Amino acid sequence: MTYTARPLSDAVVRDADGRIIGPEMADDWAEYQAWAALGNTPAPANTLAKLKETALQALADRRWRAETGGISVNGSPVATDDRSQAKFVGACLAATLDASYSVQWKIADQGFVTLDRDQIIAIARAVRAHVQACFDREAALAEEIQAAPDEQAFSAIDIEGGWPS
């Protein structure tokens, strides 16, 4: 059994199950005290700065998952992964340069569809708006993370919710 200290707290985390154990938890605290009496010491707590660094990395991953998770445009699924974004930029550029431009586009569950100039531009705009909304959400959460003055405020930040879809 091992434990990790918690920053700004007397409590420890039991590494085996992640349970936070404090003096108010008589049996678990007695077990921890017996472990410590044998000369064991808990692993150092992550500092708030380290917690923030780890959270910012997790936040970037969460933004990427939202960004590349796809959207629906007029009831049709549209891929938003990096490759699809690049293809929409190219198609949108061609449609901007040629008013009569149309293209056969493969939609995930519908096979190929013909998209005209206006449809291409509308989809490209929707994809771009989605991607930007994901970055905007990441920026707002990153600001909250950086501004958190203590572990309690930091722990209240939810990086999983509120993402565009």
44-72 pLDDT per residue, tens = 877 888 889 888 998 999 999 999 999 99
Whole-prediction pTM: 0.73
Rounded alpha-carbon distances, angstroms, from residue 70 to 124, 145, 161, 162: 12, 26, 17, 16
- From CA 25, how far away is CA 60, in angstroms rounded? 36
Domains of the chain plus CATH, in order, are 3-37 (no CATH), 48-155 (1.10.287)
Residue 109 pLDDT greater than 80, yes or no? no
Q: How confident is the model at residue 23 (pLDDT cuts 50, 70, 90)?
A: confident
User: What is the C-alpha R_g of the chain?
Assistant: 25
Contact indicator for 29, 42 with CB cutoff of 8 Å: no
Report percent pLDDT > 70 for the chain: 99
Tell me how crowded residue 25 is: count the other CB atoms within 10 A of its CB.
Answer: 14
